[in-house]
Amino acid sequence: MAFMGSLDQGTSSTRFIVFDETGSIVGQHQLEHRQILPQAGWVEHDASEIWQRTQEVIKGALANAGILANQLAGIGITNQRETTVIWDRESGRPLSNAIVWQDTRTQEFLSSLTDEVK
């Protein structure tokens, strides 16, 4: 029997769901991650924490479903909109926290660009 996986990396948590051939959920696992608020209007996530949570939820959901990773026919992935992170090419590590889509630190700059276009 083939299975499908769904990875949902959201704003407050990461979850992985395993579906069987009929579309029924046969396993799932979800973990929250920290919201980092360095100052008013700024919202960040620790990209390394998200990567760790991603690995944990996949392993947890597979164990919950009682299957091995090689039994997955494919994986669908969703993410949290326009959240941005820069990774170091050499080390594979993030260079800073991810800037979350809710962050407003560039609002003034973006407003000035909009004014220039008008």
Write down the domain spans for the chain: 3-117
Do 98 and 47 meet the contact criterion of CB atoms below 8 Å apart?
yes
Model pLDDT, residue 8 = 97
Per-residue pLDDT of 25-48, as tens digits, reads 999 999 999 999 999 999 999 999
Collapsing DSSP to helix, strand or coil, 61 comes out as: helix
Q: Are strands 25-32 and 72-78 parallel, antiparallel or unpaired?
A: unpaired
Per-residue pLDDT of 34-84, as tens digits, reads 999 999 999 999 999 999 999 999 999 999 999 999 999 999 999 988 899
CATH among 3.40.50.300, 3.10.350.10, 3.90.79.10, 3.30.420.40 for 3-117: 3.30.420.40
- How far apart are the C-alpha atoms of 102 and 85, rounded to whole Å? 14
Residues 6+ apart with CB under 8 A from 10: 78, 80
Collapsing DSSP to helix, strand or coil, 36 comes out as: strand
Per-residue pLDDT of 88-101, as tens digits, reads 999 999 999 999 99
- How far apart are the C-alpha atoms of 46 and 81, rounded to whole Å? 16
According to DSSP, the residues that pair with 30 across neighbouring strands are 15
pLDDT at 6 over 90: yes
